[in-house]
Structure 1
Amino acid sequence: MQPILPLTFILLLAVQSPAIAAQEPGIESQDVRALKSLQLLDQRMHTTGYRLVSANSEFCTETVPHFGILLHDLQQYGDQEAARLALGFSRPIAINAVAPDSPAAIAEMAAGDGLIAIDGTAVQDVAIDAEKLADEKPEYRRIAAVKEKLIEAAADGQVTLAVYSGGANQLITLTPVKTCRSQFQIRVSAKREASADGDMVSISSALAEYVRDDEELAAIAAHELAHNLLKHRERLNAQKVNRGFFGQFGKSAKRIKAAEIEADRLSVWLMANAGYDSQAAIRFWTRYGKQHGKGIFSASTHYRWKKRVKLFEEEIAKMQQMEPVAGKYAPPSLVGGEPE
């Protein structure tokens, strides 16, 4: 009997070390299992992110068109044969996930459907601006260019996609919905961590595995999304905040902590509007805090878990005193209220 390996270890092996995988007997099946597990995490993250950005769009100053699909490219995987087998690629660029109740879901699109063309432009003919995409790894530039083309096409209000699905080519016309501007991804890592860079919310595979349910995953995603919606990276950069070792002291630490407090407060409003139980933030940080002290980050820039829980309780109490409008609570920090 083969030993059962931790999922994160298998993911790291399959995604980051294809050369090692090819040398180990029996490892190919592990690659396939790992990629399938990674796809499940991607699908959970995509569903959670879509719910958060679509439900809160009316409170966001920046919105983008969204169809509810997550694309991926065969060439972004180290072992392309394993990826083709595990993930059901029918074309080099395919759908990795479809968010429930999204335009793509209504059109009955599904993971594995191959993307052939966008408004008549074949995906292989989509221009790749090497200078604009210089920060992307080479294997991710094509998918980044295709995603950008999809957003540009959506500006006209409708997009016609040529897809390969169910053994045949189809034309599907989609009307996008407006969502808050933010993307979501699972980053393969054995560390439990999460981050936001102003556009992308990243949650490590280890942390996504640690959560007990989708409600807790939403609590983490909502906190990081709050950083993006409140433009914390831009604000901290403008204040010349040091994010290195010296950022743990003085004005930099104080400003980073203030941003973390704002994100905590906003996160439970974002969760509630998306239909998630805001109490999940309390449950997650209580459990994580008891096990790991301050939480994901053990620095002076973050409150200890008991103070974080108190912040959540205060914000939930505020919501309970309000009457929702069409089932939504207007977050004070997004509609003109002063961040605390």
Structure 2
Amino acid sequence: MTKASLPKYVYADRGYVRFIRRSRAQSVMMKEKPGTPEFWNHYNELLKGREPVLSKRNFESLILSYFESDAFKKLKPRTKADYQKYIGHIRTIWGAKDPQKIETQHIYELHRANADRWRQANYLVQVMVVLMNHARLIGFLKKEHGNPAKGIPLFKQESDGWAPWPDDVRAEFEDLATPRARLVYELCIGTGQRIGDIVKMRWGQIKDGAYDVTQGKTDKPLWIPLTDRLRTYLATVEKKGMTVITDDKGRPVRYEIVAKDMRKVKAAMKHPEATTYVTHGLRKNATIELYQSGCDDEMVKAVTGHSGVEMLKKYGGQIRQRELATRAQNARNLMEQNKPGT
């Protein structure tokens, strides 16, 4: 479907078409197939500045309404992309169904049917909670129905997440890494930030020996002093463009390019498990190093931006417990030494 085949003000958008008329502040998703009588009827109504009321109460209409909502429009681009992916799955299986006829057991069955991919299964339930809440807002569900997606027990993560890179893997990677892959590695270790923020890092965000960033995922502003190691390494990096990580011509690079760089280096390594360690694991390495340096939870959060202790437990693991226990017992020893008569 090309713009040339569509009428004025109509553009292709996410498998459908969208009517956009900026002079009237109109932006409306059209579910009708272009060229059909239903499409032209809708199009003519929009030209007159009117949006017809949804005629059918089904998931197709619910999804289109949600995509037009302020709640969806305010989401971060990455979150929008994730929602569109999982909502697309719901649209495929339940598009023609009435939301009022979807009960808790149906969503539970959907969740269980995807048990072999626990993260995706949990996300489907979370997206259903959002959709069914929107259904109540637009009158597709009555108040007494409640939200049938709420209360479904999610699958628990079986591990502590992505593993930190062992010393031998790190050493070999440092020896073999290409300049761009090594730069990504050093930035992840040195700042403890997510790869999404690392890829977007600009030289202008590095001032007075610190990295000034607002995290893309959380909107949390952070000011992070550079480690001596990272400051020394960045002094050797040529400033080719506005971003720290660039292509050969100084242009910003996408996450997919960086991920490919990292995988290529690991594939060339001799370590038998090198390819199992992902870039996000370096964020856990940074967290562990902070604990090993004697930092408490608040100090670690000030660098990594983790929002709560539960996430710190996940990232710090046993290292966090050992360091805190050591400090606690040392405090007891000091108390004993200061007691009268000892």
TM-score, normalised by the number of residues in structure 2: 0.24
TM-score, normalised by the number of residues in structure 1: 0.24
Quick one: higher RCO (CA 8 Å, sep 6+), 1 or 2?
Answer: 1
Greater share of residues in helix: 2
Higher Rg of the two aligned structures = 2
